[in-house]
């Protein structure tokens, strides 16, 4: 027994969204590229933290002729900041792309902003204190 040919009620065509207008496509492209620039900013910041980790943990003790262990510990703090930035940046990129496809909005949580702010300030203060104390 043959099945009836699929009509509009039997296909997914009834559920497909209407084609987007050129201005909507342009808006989607701009938003996607802005999200990509944000992802690259997370990367740049993480790379800077990695460079800071190397400079403080490896080069500062040699240049200042001081004990290495406090600088190594501080460098590990900067490296941890870099890893956190990469992980949170990747998660943020994924959330933004999902929001773009679903038409939603995903603001950056204050907890994330607060955590990175407190961590960055603490590392900066510890760096200044360590350099001043050991010179």
Predicted confidence at residue 34, as pLDDT, reads 85
Would residue 5 count as lying in a domain? no
Residue 15 inside a domain? The answer is: no
Domain assignment of residue 128, yes or no: yes
Decide if 8 is inside a domain.
no
What is the tally of structural domains in the chain? 1
Backbone CA torsion sign across 96, 111, 57, 55: positive
Residue 98 included in any domain: yes
Question: In the Cβ-directed half-sphere of 97, how many Cα atoms lie within 13 Å?
Answer: 10
Q: Which residue has the tokens 């510990």?
A: 73
Mean pLDDT of the chain: 85
Whether 4 is in a domain gets the answer no
Contact 88, 112 (CB under 8 A): yes
Q: Is residue 61 part of a domain?
A: yes
- Which structural domain, as residue segments, surrounds residue 35? 31-133
Residues 8-62 pLDDT 10s: 555 555 555 555 677 777 777 888 888 889 899 999 999 999 999 999 999 989 9
**Coil, strand, or helix at residue 75?**
helix
Q: What is the pLDDT of residues 95-105, one digit of tens each?
A: 988 988 888 88
The proportion of the chain whose per-residue pLDDT surpasses 90, expressed as a percent, equals 53
In order, the DSSP letters of 19-50 are PPPHHHHHHHHHHHHHHHHHHHHHHHHHHHHH
Any domain includes 77:
yes
């Amino acid at each position: 027994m043959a099945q009836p040919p699929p009509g509009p009620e039997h296909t997914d065509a009834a559920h497909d969204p209407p084609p987007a207008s050129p201005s909507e496509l342009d808006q989607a492209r701009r938003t996607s590229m802005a999200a990509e620039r944000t992802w690259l900013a997370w990367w740049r910041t993480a790379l800077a933290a990695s460079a800071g980790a190397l400079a403080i943990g490896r080069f500062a003790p040699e240049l200042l002729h001081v004990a290495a262990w406090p600088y190594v510990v501080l460098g590990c703090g900067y490296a941890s900041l870099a890893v956190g930035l990469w992980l949170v940046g990747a998660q943020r990129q994924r959330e933004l792309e999902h929001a773009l496809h679903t038409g939603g909005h995903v603001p950056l949580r204050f907890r994330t902003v607060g955590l990175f702010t407190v961590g960055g300030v603490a590392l900066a203060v510890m760096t200044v204190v360590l350099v001043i104390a050991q010179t």
